[in-house]
Structure 1
């Protein structure tokens, strides 16, 4: 099963607004509409079987509506694997996790930079404990700010891995968007998945090669970060940047399926 481990799709009522916010923050002009039908059409054109769709509640009051959307698109689209979301200030997170689990949602996304907390905020520790051994966690990692000023960075992920050895973590953006030198220091070779989303257009060849050489290939997952990038175009870029043979590309595209058996 070929899978895009890192995509986003928004409700039609908010899609245009979110795309404008993304372009303003990252300076990247999004592709497509940011809606589920466009994502699935692009996934089909890219030869992908499934997509993992993420969202992140930027306030406690958004957790339930965001998770309702995740449940809805998971139910309505057999090719969609939805991740839910939580916020450290959301009350009774255990009950929300049970609701998600009953509805087939087995992953949680955190985007500390957009959600307004630090990944080393110990209010998250009870949540990580509840997620350990049960849910897969996708962490946005990295940004333009240096690690000491950024809400997320590879060192903070390493601390989570240390304190929660049974937590299954995907560190997005090859372990840290624009923080790749720190990925080599803190995450490469560790028991953590990393994905290729929002990386290939920015990382230099030497750093990319060093991370790939240092990290287990079965823990490197394909992610496009749609709607920032098109899945098919990212697959072409991935093959070229890593000089992958057909069998190697197929192994990378299917690596994420191990998380959902």
Structure 2
């Protein structure tokens, strides 16, 4: 069973606005329209069986609606694994963790840039402590900003992983969007760290991509597209052409998320 670990799908009322915002922030033309229907259509065309849809609350008031939407998508679409969200300024986070668990969510997405907090915000520490045994965290790492001004960095994540060795983290964008050299420096052999491939191949050389791949064990790599930014089939082909991976190695990466999340092919 093949997985895309990193996608976004928005409520129909805001999908167009969300895509426009992504285009402006990342200076590109998103390949998708931001709806769940288009996402599942493109995943099927790429031969992907399941996708993780990530939701992130840009303000405390959005935590419950975002998590409700993640639960709804997972409930209504068998191809979807919903990841919810928290915000360090959300007061009732303990109750929300219980509700997310009861609602069947396996993971929590944090995006310091869009959510407006630094990854080393001390308010996150009790959340990591309480959530680490029940949830996998998918965390956006990296920034166009200089290291000292970035809301997140590979070094910040390394500090968290040292403090919480049981915390299971999927580090997005090969360990740091536009910070790939820092990723190679800071993110070594952590027991509970996984790396996703999203939003990297359009920006790096084949040589750097291969260094990033070989920096981590094959079982720690997860295929991700960051849809609607990039198309699953196109991203898969670009990874195949640039990486030097064999077909069997690429298929292993495509199936790693099932092992991490405990989702197995019924066959």
Shorter-normalised TM range: over 0.9
* Aligned residue in 1 for 2:260: 259
Q: Is the 8 A contact 2:53 2:80 kept in 1?
A: yes
* Aligned residue in 1 for 2:228: 227
Q: 2: CA distance between counterparts of 1:32 and 1:173?
A: 19
> Aligned runs of 1:111-130 on 2, under 5 Å?
111-130=111-130
Q: Is the 8 A contact 1:190 1:215 kept in 2?
A: no
Q: 1: CA distance between counterparts of 2:207 and 2:240?
A: 16
- Runs (4+) of structure 1 moved beyond 3 Å? none
> Aligned runs of 1:101-180 on 2, under 5 Å?
101-180=101-180
Q: 1: CA distance between counterparts of 2:83 and 2:102?
A: 13
Q: 1: CA distance between counterparts of 2:208 and 2:188?
A: 11
Q: Give TM-score, length-normalised by structure 2.
A: 0.96
Query: In the comparison of the two structures, how many residue pairs are matched?
Result: 261
Q: Is the 8 A contact 1:2 1:50 kept in 2?
A: yes
Q: Which residues of structure 1 form unaligned runs of 5+?
A: none
* Aligned residue in 2 for 1:216: 217
* Aligned residue in 2 for 1:206: 207
* Aligned residue in 2 for 1:193: 194
Deviation at 1:103, TM superposition (A): 1.0
Q: 2: CA distance between counterparts of 1:145 and 1:205?
A: 24
Provide the secondary structure at the position in 1 that maps to 2:10.
coil
* Aligned residue in 2 for 1:20: 20
Q: 2: CA distance between counterparts of 1:120 and 1:175?
A: 16
Q: Which residues of structure 2 form unaligned runs of 5+?
A: 263-267
Q: Is the 8 A contact 2:10 2:36 kept in 1?
A: yes
* Aligned residue in 1 for 2:5: 5
Provide the secondary structure at the position in 2 that maps to 1:244.
coil
Deviation at 1:207, TM superposition (A): 2.2
**What per-residue deviation string (whole Å, max 9, x for no partner) do you get for residues 170-218 of structure 1?**
1100000000000011003333111000001101223222222221111
Q: 2: CA distance between counterparts of 1:201 and 1:189?
A: 26
> Aligned runs of 1:42-121 on 2, under 5 Å?
42-121=42-121
Q: 1: CA distance between counterparts of 2:215 and 2:32?
A: 35
Q: Give TM-score, length-normalised by structure 1.
A: 0.98
Q: Is the 8 A contact 2:31 2:231 kept in 1?
A: yes
Q: 2: CA distance between counterparts of 1:208 and 1:235?
A: 14
